[in-house]
Amino acid sequence: MIAGEAVVVVGIDYKYTLDFVNRDLKQGDQEDEKERACRMSALHKRSADRLQEMLRKNGGIYIKLGQHLASLKYLLPDEWTTAMEPLQDRCIPSSIESIQALFLSDFGKPISSFFSSFELEPIGVASLAQVHRAKLFDGQEVAVKIQHPALDEFSTIDIKTVAALTNFVAFVFPEFEFTWLSDEMQTSLPRELDFDVEAANAARVAVNFDKARAEGSKSTIKIPDVIWSQKRVLVMEFIVGSRIDNLSYLKDNNIKVQEVSNEMARMFSQMIYKDGFVHCDPHPGNVLIRPAPPGSLSPRNFEIVLLDHGLYRELTPEFRLDYARLWTAIIASDEEEIKYRALKLGGTDAYQLFSTILTGRDWSVVQEAQLAKKARNKDEFVMLSDGAGNKIAEVADILAKVPRNLLLLFKTNDLLRALDEDLGTDDGSQMRTFAVMGQYCAHAIYEADKSVIKSKLNSSKMTVLFLTTTLRSWLKAYCGYLYTTTSLDLFMWWVTLGQSDSLFGRLFSRVGQLVF
C-alpha cells in the first residue's frame, strides 16, 4: 500500500504538471523555457524525495531498488539520482533478537554454538544483509554476513509489487519503458539472496585471478576466503581495511589514488574481456583497500579487497568479442563500426546516444577521438545530466532493447567512473583507465583471431596456398594487436611523464598537447 500510494501520487503529479500546469508556457520563448526548466526541476525533486521516503520506509529490496536508481545517471535527472544516493549508505540493521531467531530457525542452534565471541553491533549494514565481527572456537577472526530475516518472508511479494508498479508506470507513460528494471530484479535478486551462490562466485573469481597470476598477469585483488556458507549466512575471513574512497586512509598509508584507479581498471577489464565473469556491483561499500601484508602477491604497496559476490554476470565469448570490438571502435572514433556494433550488440540504431550511455561521455568527445585523451570535466558532467532529463524516453527505449548483460555492464561502468571521481583522480588517471581497457580489448580480439586461425589449421587440408593465407592472417592480427598495445603503452608513458614536476616532464606535456 505504501509503495502503491507513492508511485500513483508521483505518476499523477507528473501527468498533471506535464499536461496542464505547463500549458501557459510558450515553446521557444527564452523566459518561458527558463520557467519550464525551474518547474521541471521542482517536479523531479519532490517526486524523487517522495519515492525515496517510500523506499526507505519499506526497506530491504526497496532499498536495493533505490540504490540501482542512484546509479542510473545516464537515464535519470540529477534530482533523482541525488535523492537516491543516501540509500547507498543508510540502511537500518536487523535486531539481534531477529538474528538469533534466524540461527535457531535455520540451524536449530543459537549463535553461541558457532562462535566463541560475536559482536552484537554490526560493522556494516546493506540492503540485503548485515555483517558482524566474530571469532571461531579455534581463535580465527571472521566476518559473518547475515541476511535480514524479514527478506525471507517478504522478498517474493516485494519483487511482484515492484513488477506491478513498473507495469503501471508503463501503462500511464507508454513512452517510458521501465519494465526492464523489474525484469532484472526478478532475475538477479533470488541469486543474491542465496549465499551459497555468493560463496561459489567468490571461489570462482579467486581461481580466475590465481590463474592469471600463474600466467604472469600480476594483480592487487584479494578475495576473502569463505569458511562456510548456508543460504542466509556466510562466514568469511576477517580483513582489516578501509573503504576504497577513504582519501585520508590512502594518504596515511602512502597509497597513490592514480595507482588504485589503474588497478581497478585492470581488475575489471580482466573480468569482462578475459574471464567473462563480472562482479556487477563495485560501489565503494563493496571495495576495501589495505596496505599489502607480508607475503602478498600484489605488485603494489596495497591490496584491493573485493566484497559482496552476490551479483555476477557470465559473458559468452561471442558477447565479449563484440563488446571489445565496440569499445575499440569507440576509442578509435570509428563511427561506422560503432553504428554496426551498437545495432548488433545493443539492438539499437541510436548509436550516438548508445555510446553516451556506455561511456558516460558526450558524443562530441567520442566523435573527435578524445575519449582516452581528454578527461571528463564538470561542464561535461552537467551537460550529460541535463541531457538525461531531456532524453529519458529515448534512453529508456534503448535500455528496453539491450541484452540484460549489457544493462549490468552499463551499471558497472557507471559505478567505476563514479569511484574514479570520488577518489579525485587526476586527468591522467582517467585517460589511462581507457587506455588500459583498450589494451585488454586488443588482447581479446587477438585471442579470438588466433582461435579462428587454429580452428582452420585443424580442419583444413594443408596446401602452400592455405598456409600462406593463414600466415598472412596471423601476421595481420598480430601486427594489429602489437600496434594497438604498443601505442597505448606509449600514450600512458607520455601522460605519466607529462604529469611529472620535472622540467623534462613539463616540456613533454607541452609537446603532448600539440601531438594529441
Residues with catalytic annotation? 281
DSSP helix/strand/coil, 85: helix
CA distances from 137 to 100, 107, 108, 117, 144 (A): 18, 17, 19, 8, 14
- Partners of 124 in the beta sheet? 131
Is the alpha carbon torsion for 281, 282, 288, 291 positive or negative? positive
CB 425 within 8 Å of CB 263: no
CB 206 within 8 Å of CB 222: no
Is the alpha carbon torsion for 198, 203, 204, 205 positive or negative? positive
How far apart CA 422 and CA 284 sit, in angstroms, is: 9
Pairing mode of beta strands 124-125, 129-135: antiparallel
| Secondary element (H or E) of residue 150 | helix 150-172
Contacts of 332 (CB under 8 A, 6+ apart): 369
CB 40 within 8 Å of CB 388: no
CB 191 within 8 Å of CB 310: yes
Q: Taking each helix axis from N to C terminus, what angle separates 335-346 and 317-332, rounded to the nearest 10 degrees? A: 150
DSSP helix/strand/coil, 37: helix
Beta-strand ranges (E) seen in 57-178 are 117-118, 124-125, 129-135, 141-147
What letter would DSSP give residue 272? I
What letter would DSSP give residue 284? G
What letter would DSSP give residue 60? T
How far apart CA 402 and CA 499 sit, in angstroms, is: 39
Q: Taking each helix axis from N to C terminus, what angle separates 257-269 and 404-423, rounded to the nearest 10 degrees? A: 170
DSSP helix/strand/coil, 273: helix
Q: How long, in residues, is the chain? A: 516
Residue type, 329: A
Residue 426 burial by Cβ neighbours in a 10 Å radius (0-12, 13-18, 19+): middle
How far apart CA 486 and CA 179 sit, in angstroms, is: 44
